[in-house]
């Protein structure tokens, strides 16, 4: 790894200043963040992909909310926006996302894209003057049309031509002009632009030309040694043509003949050919209507059942998300989470690519993945990962309790390839939690049946009421959402008397350790009691990433049933289980139940909904205002200020007072 030079540091510093300028502008009383979003919506930005590189985790959601034309699929984008100052780095960022390009030299500012700055917004690009043959060859290929990115619209007008003496190049130029007038664009062009272009455009109230902000521009090309993705309908059609002796073209015999094999032809799985008696257009006309709730922006506004008719496809998408997690692609993770939530909320069995394409949050990438899964029974990236030695090792490490994607990659970089390597070469370097995760690796991979979840929870509640009578408990997590088995057990305890929950986490853990139920305590936190059991104070968006996500008192422990038949075994044969015990004050118990019940995307969107729609800050310790000093908002007491009679009533009041339709736990399964 080479040290960065002063030029790189100066470039990055200028990018930080650009971002700070936008944030400062957003804080002015006259120009709020909301008004900036409205301004952005009124500007005709091209489709933008946001690079997560060099952003803090809490910066990305805020900036994403400012971009009205944001896409999570880089292949859809016209502009790639980010904190990238060097052309070489820009090319690497594109290649890392499997987007390969041929560089196109930047055009002079006078030849670039000019955007209408009138309040009514940009108009259709003006016709361009026919360039000379040498200029045309240098700028765009003969079969290209003008792009709709900032550099691609043309200000020049086309000179008149004598139809009778048009050369071949002139005819092609005329064809491109006709396509331009028809609104066609060159989807092969991609531009990497500094973040300052977007922030400056917002501040100035118009989409600026990109010339001064351009880092790199190129034309998309096929990846090296790319293999065609076969479509079942195409194969069947060509087979019929071969049998009749009337191929569409000679090239089709060459491409699909016996000498060419599908890269997965050695797989034991045979492709699933979908025979259809009607065209795709006819099929689209017969598709069921998309439910209105699916058009909502936030998954917390939709019913998402535990049993989806598309569960097999969803499981494949989850595996893709895990791969992106191991690649530490934050944007990809969010994109797959959004798509998974949309498919999971769709109440009908998907039957065609066009049906997937119309689902909110499912772009061309998800459509292509559906085609792969429908036709071949697998996803190529998932199959490749299963046989990729590095990815197999990363998945092994990622399944260790206490090991995330970053640590899994770090283990691999150290040269470790299995659990024995961790024990032999790194035992003194890994954390105690990771040591326990390795020691009980196989047991902690086992799923916990619902009956055992209930048995463990019953013991915890009994111990709580031995210490102080009156505790109530809700089993949260996957169990409450209706899953047949769980990876761990999550229980939430609360008591109407505030003094009962104060530092109670220490007492309940000591009691369960005394009876041998808790064998190891991984984490013990009493932060909520340390601040007087008050909801976490709202400190604004400038807080450090991750602070205040969930600061309830909690213990993350390893559990083992201490009872067994000692006449049959000398050692305890019961499996070790992961158990989370959470303690909430009564006045915010409803928020705690909500925060620990929903699927990951449900909880993410609930926080986004509270922020964007209600101007509130939500976490499991309570709700605060984002303005007026960050005061706590009581969502759970009745009109007279009396607290809820039980934890589930409090939960329903949270939904009602946030303006959300009540969703039972079994409808919060966003995946």
Q: pLDDT tens digits, residue range 56-94?
A: 766 777 788 888 888 888 888 999 999 888 888 888 888
Mean pLDDT of the chain, nearest integer: 79
Predicted TM-score of the model (pTM): 0.63
pLDDT of residue 562: 97
What CATH superfamily classification does 264-383 receive?
DNA polymerase beta, N-terminal domain-like (1.10.150.110)
The single-letter DSSP state of residue 547 is T
* 22 touches 53 (CB < 8 A): no
How close are the terminal C-alpha atoms of the chain, in Å?
Answer: 38
Lowest pLDDT segment from 239-248, 271-280, 441-450, 479-488: 271-280
pLDDT in tens, 450-494: 999 999 999 999 999 999 999 999 999 999 999 999 999 999 999
Give me the half-sphere count of Cα atoms (radius 13 Å) on the Cβ side of residue 33.
17
Q: Where in the chain is the domain with CATH 3.30.460.10?
A: 448-539+547-564+571-667
Alpha helix stretches (DSSP H) within 77-224: 87-96, 133-139, 168-181, 195-204
Residue 79 to residue 102: CA distance in whole angstroms: 16
Q: What is the pLDDT of residues 563-599, one digit of tens each?
A: 999 999 999 999 999 999 999 999 999 999 999 999 9
Contact 641, 649 (CB under 8 A): no
Please list the residues that pair with 524 across neighbouring strands.
Answer: 555
- CATH 1.10.150.110: which residues of the chain? 264-383
Among the four given CATH numbers 3.30.2420.10, 3.40.50.11540, 3.30.460.10, 2.40.37.10, the one describing domain 448-539+547-564+571-667: 3.30.460.10
So what's the pLDDT on residue 284? 59
Closest CA to 140 of 169, 162, 164: 169
Answer yes or no: is pLDDT of 608 > 50. Answer: yes
- 434's CB contacts (< 8 A; 6+ apart) are 400, 401, 402, 403, 407, 422
């Amino acid at each position: 790894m080479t040290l960065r030079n002063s030029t790189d540091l100066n470039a990055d510093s200028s990018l930080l200043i650009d971002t700070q300028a936008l944030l400062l502008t957003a804080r002015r009383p006259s120009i709020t963040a909301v008004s900036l979003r409205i301004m952005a919506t009124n500007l005709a930005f091209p489709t933008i992909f946001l690079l997560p590189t060099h952003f803090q985790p809490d910066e990305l959601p805020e900036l994403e909310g400012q971009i009205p034309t944001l896409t999570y699929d880089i292949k859809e984008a016209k502009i790639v926006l980010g904190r990238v100052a060097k052309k070489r780095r820009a090319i690497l960022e594109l290649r890392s996302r499997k987007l390969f390009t041929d560089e196109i030299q930047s055009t002079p500012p006078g030849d670039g894209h000019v955007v209408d700055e009138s309040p009514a917004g940009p108009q259709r690009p003006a016709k361009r003057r026919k360039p000379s043959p040498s200029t045309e060859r240098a700028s765009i290929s003969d079969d290209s049309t003008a792009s709709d990115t900032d550099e691609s619209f043309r200000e020049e007008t086309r000179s008149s031509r004598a139809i009778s003496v048009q050369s071949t190049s002139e005819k092609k130029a005329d064809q491109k002009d006709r396509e331009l007038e028809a609104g066609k664009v060159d989807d092969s062009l991609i531009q990497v632009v500094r973040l300052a272009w977007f922030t400056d455009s917002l501040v100035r109230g118009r989409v600026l030309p990109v010339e001064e902000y351009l880092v790199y521009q190129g034309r998309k090309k096929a990846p090296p040694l790319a293999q065609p993705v076969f479509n079942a309908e195409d194969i069947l059609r060509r087979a019929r043509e071969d049998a009749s002796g009337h191929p569409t073209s000679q090239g089709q015999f060459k491409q699909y003949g016996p000498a060419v094999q599908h890269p997965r032809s050695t797989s034991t799985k045979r492709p699933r050919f979908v025979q259809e008696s009607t065209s795709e257009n006819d099929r689209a006309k017969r598709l069921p209507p998309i439910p209105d709730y699916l058009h909502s922006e936030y998954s917390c506004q939709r019913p998402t059942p535990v049993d989806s008719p598309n569960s097999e496809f969803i499981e494949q998408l989850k595996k893709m998300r895990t791969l992106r997690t191991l690649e530490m692609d934050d944007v990809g993770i969010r994109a797959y989470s959004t798509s998974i939530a949309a498919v999971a909320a769709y109440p009908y069995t998907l039957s065609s690519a066009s049906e997937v394409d119309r689902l909110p949050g499912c772009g061309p990438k998800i459509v292509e993945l559906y085609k792969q899964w429908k036709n071949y029974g697998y996803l190529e990236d998932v199959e490749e990962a299963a046989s990729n030695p590095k990815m197999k090792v990363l998945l092994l490490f990622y399944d260790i309790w206490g090991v995330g994607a970053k640590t899994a990659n770090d283990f691999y970089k150290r040269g470790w390839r299995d659990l024995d390597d961790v024990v032999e070469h790194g035992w003194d370097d890994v954390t105690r939690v990771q040591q326990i995760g390795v020691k009980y690796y196989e047991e902690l991979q086992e799923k916990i049946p619902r009956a055992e979840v209930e048995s463990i929870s019953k013991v915890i509640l009994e111990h709580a009421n031995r210490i102080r009578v009156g505790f109530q408990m809700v089993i949260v997590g996957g169990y409450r959402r209706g899953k047949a088995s769980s990876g761990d057990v999550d229980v939430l305890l609360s008591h109407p008397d505030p003094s009962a929950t104060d530092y109670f986490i220490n007492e309940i853990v000591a009691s369960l350790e005394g009876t041998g139920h808790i064998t190891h305590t991984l984490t013990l936190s009493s932060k909520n009691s340390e601040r007087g059991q008050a909801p976490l104070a709202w400190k604004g968006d400038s807080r450090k990433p991750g602070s205040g996500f969930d600061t309830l008192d909690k213990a993350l422990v390893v559990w083992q049933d201490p009872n067994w038949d000692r006449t049959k075994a000398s050692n305890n044969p019961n499996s070790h289980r992961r158990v989370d015990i959470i303690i909430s004050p009564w006045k915010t118990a409803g928020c705690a139940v909500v925060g620990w019940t929903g699927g990951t995307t449900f909880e993410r969107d609930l926080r986004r909904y509270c922020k964007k729609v209600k101007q509130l800050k939500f976490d499991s310790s309570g709700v605060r205002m984002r303005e007026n000093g960050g005061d706590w908002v009581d969502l759970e007491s009745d009109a007279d200020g009396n607290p809820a009679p039980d934890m589930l009533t409090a939960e329903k009041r949270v939904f009602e007072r946030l303006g959300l339709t009540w969703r039972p736990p079994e409808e919060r399964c966003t995946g």
